[in-house]
């Protein structure tokens, strides 16, 4: 874990107070998030759109 990087990301997210009062929680949260997308087989086809798809209303 890159502690300075996590601290910088936490500050950028506005978590200064959590970082000061609960640094272990901030580190644990970051550990859960960072690298998680590596467990996902990201679709290779550009035709695969995110869910839910964009939908507009029925118009006037």
- Smallest gap, in angstroms, from Cβ of residue 60 to other proteins? 17
Q: Which residues bind other proteins (CB under 8 A)?
A: 6, 9-10, 13-18, 21-22, 25-26, 28-30, 32-34, 36-37, 39-43, 48-52
Distance CA 50, CA 11 (A): 29
For other proteins, the closer of residues 47 and 60 by Cβ is 47
Q: Provide the CA 11 distance to its chain's centre, in angstroms.
A: 14
At its nearest, how many Å lie between other proteins and the CB of residue 21? 6
**Cβ burial, residue 17 (10 Å; 0-12/13-18/19+):** exposed
């Amino acid at each position: 874990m890159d502690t300075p990087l996590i601290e910088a990301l936490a500050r950028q997210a506005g978590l200064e107070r959590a970082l000061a009062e609960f640094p272990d929680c901030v580190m644990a949260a970051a550990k859960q998030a960072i690298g998680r997308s590596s467990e996902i087989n990201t679709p290779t086809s550009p035709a695969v759109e995110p869910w839910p798809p964009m939908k507009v209303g029925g118009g006037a």
